[in-house]
Every structure is written in structure tokens, then in C-alpha cells.
Amino acid sequence: MLMITDGLWIGLTKQQVSNTMIDTSVGDLLLSLSVYSIFESSTLVDTGSSYTDNDYSISADVGTEMFGGPYVINWNVTGLNFGYTSLDAITGSVGGILGIGYPASEEIEPSYSNFPMILKDQGAISTVMYSIADGRIVFGGIDTLACPGPLVKTPVALAATLQGQSTVYQYTAVTMNSLMLNNTIVSNEKLIMNLDTSSSLLNVPYSIWINIDLLMGPQRVRSNGVTYYLKSRVLGTMLTASITGYNIQFSLGDIINGELTSNGIVYVSLDYKVIDVPTALVGSLPNIIFEKYCVVVDMETNEILFTEQDAGSDGTVKAVKSGSYPVATSAATSYSATYSKIYINSLETAIGVNQS
């Protein structure tokens, strides 16, 4: 989970925006009473409208505000659309959501310039892009030590339905061409996978999950409807997602969400969700990837760039201008092999037997 802890403010009175989660899967800024007070602001413009945020199941009023911060340069933007609610929290203890997804993911209507776009519109940055590495987000540039390069480029994936492929960018998503569990292929059908900073879940269709489940072997226990796998096996299992030829790797141990001991043996449950395609148009990779890789989202070139991050290295933040990066870049080896038609469960590879 990527959080704003300090440094950003809203309104002329500079109310400090903290306890706010950055969410790459949504497009709106949503603040609760614990983060923002309408009574302390002299710059709030109430639009008189409201909306329902379906991702967080909250109804909110819509306004525009001034927003700013001290990073790199002192900056501020005005006329930022956002939702505000009298609730104390949005989800759990989180007080606000800063959505930085594409405008098509916005739920406030009519469509408007999202946060990265308004930063460029008002001169705070040169390019509508951001980079995430080492627990930090940089708008309009990258940390050249945390993201040493080369950055490998892949196209932002477009969703598809039974009627055909969309022409509108909606998701901060990539094409997953294959998925391997250690050395065994569990998926070789193209799937669109969201990169969601707010979620630790691995979201995949049933046909992929049943392959993973079978490969985890017969030694397991069930408790309250949850399957617990042998912990030692989980910790020794790597997932490799090929993103148009660039490999993203993480351990199943990275998505453990529960533990149970039976007869002296330790078992663990996993943080996953089986999605129903085509009801759900996209799967998602867990947000652990943002701890392992520098992820750059360029909304002008509609590309996402990856490199293994050098965690703990605070470097020099350098601007990105018109697709020109301060570190080397290259295209993924299968750059053009992108998602173009809806995923079909029956076409997926099948493991077929339980592995001991």
C-alpha cells in the first residue's frame, strides 16, 4: 500500500493531506472528514453535485480545490475535482484516496483532467507520467538511483469484451502473455492484468488458479472455507509473469495472508481472488511488485516501464520530457504481442493432475 504521510496540502489554509492512499486503479481524489474539513477551507467550490464511488461504496459530494506540495519545487494546482464525505474514513483506517488512474476510470462526471494531467496543465510537470520505487511516487520524473535502468517498455493494455476491443485507455494494465509456477506453465493465454497499488490480491481466472492449486500438492488443510497450503512449499514457490517478454517475479510467500498449525505442521493461506471473465474484464498482479520493481506509467505514450529497483537508494530526481528518459530504455522483447481479444477459460492450458 502506497500512502501519503506528509508534505501535501489542500486549500489556501494548507490542510495537511495525510493518511491518504495512492490508488493507480481509480481516477478520483476522495477525502474523508479525518483528512479534510470543508469548514476550514476558503477555496472550496461546491459544484452542487454528488456521486457514488463504487470501488469504495461511498457516496460523496463533488467540489474543486487548490492542492499543492513542496517536493522538488513548491507547487500548487487549482480547480482540482474531488469528492468529499463526512465519514471518518474511506476504507479501514484510510482517510483519503488519491486516484491517479486514467480519466476513463473516473466516477465523477463529466470526465475531467486527472491529477497527473492537471499537474502538467498548470505547469508543475512537463509530462503526464509518474514513477513508483522504494515506497515513493514521483510525478513527472524518476529517481535515477532507485530506477537505474534500463527501463523496459510495454504498451498499456486495452480491455476487451465479447463485442471486441476497447479503443479507450481505462486501466493501468499490461498484457500478461504467460505465467509460470517455478518451471511449470500455468497460463499461456494472454490476459490483461491491472497494476493496482491499493491491492495485495493476485486476481486470476479460475482456469489459472486451478492450475496453481493443483501444483501446490495434496498436503493442505481446510478451515472455515479457506484452503491452507504447506508453508514450506509456498515459500519455495516463485511466480513468473511474462509481460510482453519482460519477466516480473515474486514468491507465493509474498502473498501469504494467514497461518494455521495442524499436527505440528504449519500451513498458510494466500491472498488471491478468482475472477469471472467476461464479467470482470481484467485480472491484477499484487502490489508487492511495486516493492520489487520500479514502475513507470507514461500516460502520454501509453506505456508502462519496468526495471528492478535499487531499494534504499535516494538519488537525484530528474524530469521526463516528451518521452525522453534520463536513464536508458528499451522495448520488451514481445512488445507487440498485446491483449486483443477476451480471455476464454476453456482455451487455457490445463495441468490436469495433482502434483505431490
Give the predicted TM-score (pTM) of the model: 0.93
Residue 165 counted as domain residue: yes
> 327 with 256, same domain?
yes
Residue 130 counted as domain residue: no
> 206 with 287, same domain?
yes
Residue 136 counted as domain residue: no
Domain containing residue 283: 152-347
pLDDT (0 to 100) of residue 77: 87
> 224 with 337, same domain?
yes
> 299 with 159, same domain?
yes
The enclosing H or E element of 289 equals helix 289-292
> 305 with 173, same domain?
yes
CA distances from 1 to 66, 107, 305, 343 (A): 25, 22, 20, 28
Matching residue, cell 538511483: 145
Residue 355 counted as domain residue: no
Q: In the chain, which residues have pLDDT < 50?
A: 72, 354-356
- The CATH number linked to 248 is 2.40.70.10
Residue 146 counted as domain residue: no
> 92 with 230, same domain?
no
> pLDDT digit string (tens) for 101-112?
999 999 999 889
Residue 213 counted as domain residue: yes
> pLDDT digit string (tens) for 277-320?
877 789 999 999 999 999 999 999 999 999 999 866 566 889 99
pLDDT (0 to 100) of residue 74: 67
pLDDT (0 to 100) of residue 356: 43
Q: How far is CA 283 from the centre of its chain?
A: 11
Query: Whose CA is closest to 179, among 341, 307, 343, 353?
Result: 343
Residue 353 counted as domain residue: no
pLDDT (0 to 100) of residue 211: 96
d(C-alpha 173, C-alpha 242), whole Å: 13
The enclosing H or E element of 292 equals helix 289-292
> 118 with 178, same domain?
no
Indicate the length of the chain as a whole number.
356
> pLDDT digit string (tens) for 43-88?
899 999 999 999 899 999 999 999 887 654 567 888 889 999 999 9
pLDDT (0 to 100) of residue 117: 93
> 14 with 78, same domain?
yes
> 68 with 172, same domain?
no
pLDDT (0 to 100) of residue 3: 85
The strand pair at 329-331 and 151-155 is best described as parallel
Number of domains, the chain: 2
* Final residue before a domain boundary, out of 104, 124, 144: 124
Residue 277 counted as domain residue: yes
> 82 with 198, same domain?
no
C-alpha cell read off for 283: 485480472
Query: Whose CA is closest to 353, among 183, 182, 178, 184?
Result: 184
Find the radius of gyration of the CA atoms of the chain.
21
> 68 with 160, same domain?
no
The enclosing H or E element of 213 equals helix 206-215
> 118 with 160, same domain?
no
Query: What phi and psi, each to the nearest 5 degrees, are found at residue 291?
Result: -90, -20
**Residues 333-337: contacts with CB within 8 Å, 24+ apart?**
333/244, 333/245, 333/246, 334/177, 334/242, 334/244, 334/245, 335/153, 335/154, 335/155, 335/244, 335/245, 336/244, 337/175, 337/177, 337/190, 337/244, 337/245
pLDDT (0 to 100) of residue 353: 53
